[in-house]
């Protein structure tokens, strides 16, 4: 299976709706992308709009991946820090692969494309991301060269009595 990644594609109504569907499906499958299931498109929409506003302001870039049929299969957002003290880092947010495509190498392909985009961005020396504990995501990101640099125990509450660590990871680009 092949994932074709595109950085900063034109945001059409069809792409907008596809990202909204992707984000909703990933969330409802238990993906750690900012929501706890069950979630509706209406619940996800304001977060997507917030990302689009940041894109319009030039602060965030969209990376999408399409499967061999041309359907949206993966997406991530890359944002340069607004803080001048960390402007040499690029944040990677809302990294998601549709559940039906997981286990096919799409996540690795998306992350490789994100690293390539970061390396091509002037002044960027590292990519940072955070992930929710309890999914084994830190092992996946470690396999790509990211290293854990911090952990906030119990920072994410997915349900009463179910708190997860927030894990901060960095990929040095030097």
What is the block-wise mean pLDDT of the chain (174 residues), using blocks of 10 residues? 92 97 97 93 97 95 97 97 93 97 96 98 96 92 98 93 96 94
User: What pLDDT shows up at residue 73?
Assistant: 98
Answer yes or no: is 32 within a domain: yes
Answer yes or no: is 139 within a domain: no
Residue 49, domain extent: 4-122
User: What pLDDT shows up at residue 25?
Assistant: 98
pTM above 0.85, yes or no: yes
Answer yes or no: is 128 within a domain: no
Answer yes or no: is 72 within a domain: yes
User: What pLDDT shows up at residue 17?
Assistant: 98
CA angle 50, 65, 116 (to 5 degrees): 90
Percent helix, strand and coil across the chain, each to the nearest 5: 35, 35, 30
Coil, strand, or helix at residue 6? strand
What CATH number did the domain enclosing 47 receive? 3.40.630.30
Answer yes or no: is 13 within a domain: yes
Q: How far, in Å, CA of 10 to CA of 136, rounded?
A: 33
User: What pLDDT shows up at residue 86?
Assistant: 94
Q: With beta carbons less than 8 A apart as the criterion, state whether 22 and 100 touch.
A: no
Answer yes or no: is 98 within a domain: yes
Answer yes or no: is 158 within a domain: no
Answer yes or no: is 30 within a domain: yes
In total, how many domains does the chain have? Answer: 1
């Amino acid at each position: 299976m092949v994932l074709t990644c595109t950085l900063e594609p034109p945001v059409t109504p069809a792409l907008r709706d596809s990202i909204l569907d992707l984000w909703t499906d990933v969330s409802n499958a238990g993906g750690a992308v900012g929501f706890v299931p069950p979630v509706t498109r209406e619940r996800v929409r304001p977060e997507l709009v917030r990302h689009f506003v940041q894109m319009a302001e030039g602060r965030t870039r969209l990376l999408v991946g399409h499967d061999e049929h041309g359907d949206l299969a993966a997406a991530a957002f890359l944002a340069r820090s607004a803080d001048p003290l960390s402007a040499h880092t690029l944040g990677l947010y809302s990294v998601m692969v549709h559940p039906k495509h997981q286990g096919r190498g799409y996540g690795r392909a998306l992350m490789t494309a994100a690293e390539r985009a970061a390396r091509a961005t002037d002044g960027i020396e590292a990519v940072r991301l955070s992930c929710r504990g309890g999914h084994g995501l830190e092992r996946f990101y470690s396999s790509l060269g990211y290293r854990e640099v911090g952990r906030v125990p119990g920072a994410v509450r997915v349900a009463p009595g179910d708190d997860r660590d927030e894990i901060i990871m960095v990929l040095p680009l030097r």
